[in-house]
Chain A
Amino acid sequence: MNKIEFKEVGMKYHTQVEETEALRNLSFTIKENEFVSLVGPSGCGKTTSLSLLAGLLSPSSGQVIVDNEPINGVNEKIGYMLQEDYLFPWRTILDNVLLGLELKGELNAKTENKARRLLADYGLDGFEDYYPTQLSGGMRQRVALARTLVFEPEILLLDEPFSALDYHTKLALEDEVAQILRDEKKTVVLVTHDIAEAIAMSDRVLVFTERPGKVKEEYNIDLTIDGKYSTFKAREASEFSNYFNSIWEELDVYV
């Protein structure tokens, strides 16, 4: 079943001096519980696609459809994770996680317990009353994940959520997040510049063209993994480097 459908979506931005065409005739579908990565050159409209899905922007032409209905206004089914954690420094860790519930009017003893449980699951028990400045980058991004998952969004949008972390933390967190999302059975759209990350985490990778963006090529990722899945094992799979090379060539990067 198609969870998400982009139907010939076009998007133009206007400023006083110019018009920028970010997307032209962008069409793709994403199935329920699928993990899809969008890769492509800078400014090719990946983040614009996420904003359209979130309902923060409306397409100039075409339709963005979720659960067979065109998006109208802010999409309540999504959880959005940005490049940085954007935790509010004036709120404690627990209060940061409760933010979404508070805004949606769903804050009660039950949901608060759930928030505490999520924090504990992510190795953050005992930190509930700390302020974000007292935590490391990886811990903060885990708090951001808890903040996103606590209100149980059906669709998760990840906009380069690991790009601000150092390499070790990034690899470890990538694996954690991929495992959590597989267990939770969410539909996930990941925007990233990191080809290896895209292959290791996703079921499918969509490669975008330069601006105005549309899908140039798509890859179904099928890796042979012994035992339980992890992004580390995914990187060791024999097919990994083939995918990497093809996507790398497809991206056609000139420096």
Chain B
Amino acid sequence: MFKRLKDIYNEVLTKGAVTEEHGEYLKRMRLKDFSIKVLQLMILIVFTVGWELAAKYRIVDPFITSYPTEIMKTIYKMALNGQLFKHVWTTVYETLAGFSIGAGSGLLIAITLWWSDYLSRIFEPYIVVLNALPKMALGPILIIWLGNGSQAIIGMALLISVIVTIMMVYNGFRETDKNKVKLLKTLGASRLQIFKKVVLPENLPTIFAALKVNIGLSLVGTIVGEFLVSQAGLGYLIVYGGQVFKLSLVMTSVIILSILAGVLYYLIVWLEKRVIKWEQ
């Protein structure tokens, strides 16, 4: 019985092996991968259980730290009365709106700057200053201009992500392989063709790198916006929970926010894999 189990174990680990030595190699690699996954999971479990026990035996004050079972209860309650969906959706909607408009307009501006070297030189100092300026400082202005609702929050998310998109994508465009461009010119390509056939495809990895940075930045913009003005969203829950000292609500929101940040990031990674097929 024990021997059979061992056989199965070896078979699974050496699956696809070409020779016995290759099998040993595969086994080592797979065991290592597996141990990494196990340890990642262990950290999460130890942390959660430790937190729970520490709160239960009053090593930490559960009033200011809350604890996992309490958080689970909060999530369950909020899921039942529809609050969970409402707040998560508000934050997701505002983030994605700010992110899409920011990425779209950033890309368009980067294309314009690449198209005209003259324009890019004119606007360079303004872009540099806007990049260095902490965008949060513009929060109150946005609220006055766009009102104290979703629009101001989307504006914040957009503002934070658009400048980085412009800078990253424009720099990528500029560093497009000169010889590939030369090759296209000898084939009689127009500027639009050069853009479509070389500059854009060559910079897809850069564009995705910018998107990955920006999905995080848009989330920052949204949460900051929700801190300043809002009646809904995870940022609102965090501020509200803090004001009324409901730490379980704050912790719950932070945890949902981390999950959300992860999901949004991997959404971009998934999209990247679908679009960029030539880099394996």
Contact = CB atoms under 8 A, between A and B. Distances in A.
Contacts of B127: none
A88 B198 contact: yes
Contact of B186 (A54, A89, A91): A54
B187 A99 contact: yes
A137 interface: no
A103 B183 contact: no
Contact of B278 (A84, A100, A133, A157): A133
B11 interface: no
Interface stretch (B32-40, B118-126, B174-182, B239-247): B174-182
A86 interface: yes
A56 B178 CA distance: 13
A183 B240 CA distance: 82
Interface stretch (A72-80, A108-116, A117-125, A222-230): A72-80
B182 to A, nearest CB: 7
A90 B204 contact: yes
Q: What DSSP secondary structure best describes chain A's contact surface? A: loop
Given A82-B179, A90-B278, A74 B197 contact: no
Interface string A68-108: 00000010101110111010111100000001101110000
B201 interface: yes
A82 B197 contact: no
Given A88-B198, A90-B278, A131-B278, A103 B180 contact: no
Contact of B185 (A56, A83, A90, A91): A56
Given A56-B185, A76-B188, A86 B278 contact: no
Nearest to A79: B186
Contacts of A83: 179
Q: What DSSP secondary structure best describes chain B's contact surface? A: helix
Interface string B257-280: 000000000000000000010110
B83 interface: no
A100 B201 contact: no
A32 to B, nearest CB: 21
Contact of B183 (A76, A82, A91, A151): A82
Nearest to B180: A86
Contact of A90 (B177, B187, B188, B201): B201
A74 B183 CA distance: 12
B112 interface: no
B225 to A, nearest CB: 37
A103 B197 contact: yes
A80 to B, nearest CB: 4
Contacts of A89: 278-279
A103 B187 contact: yes
Nearest to A151: B187
B189 A103 contact: yes
A103 B184 contact: yes
A167 B279 CA distance: 28
Interface string B198-228: 1001101000000000000000000000000
Interface in B160-196: 177, 179-180, 182-189, 193
A94 to B, nearest CB: 14
Contacts of B185: 54, 56, 74
A131 to B, nearest CB: 5
A151 B189 CA distance: 14
Interface string A30-64: 00000000000000000000000010100000000
Interface centre among B197, B201, B278 (most CB of A within 10 A): B278
A10 B43 CA distance: 72
B182 A82 contact: yes
Given A88-B198, A131-B278, A133-B278, A103 B182 contact: no
Contacts of A91: 278
B188 A104 contact: yes
Nearest to B275: A90
Given A54-B185, A88-B202, A102-B197, 9 more contacts: A56-B182, A56-B185, A84-B179, A89-B278, A89-B279, A90-B204, A100-B187, A103-B188, A133-B278
18 contacts: A54-B185, A54-B186, A56-B186, A74-B186, A82-B182, A83-B179, A86-B179, A88-B180, A88-B197, A88-B202, A89-B279, A91-B278, A100-B187, A103-B184, A103-B189, A104-B187, A131-B278, A157-B186
Interface of B: 177, 179-180, 182-189, 193, 197-198, 201-202, 204, 276, 278-279
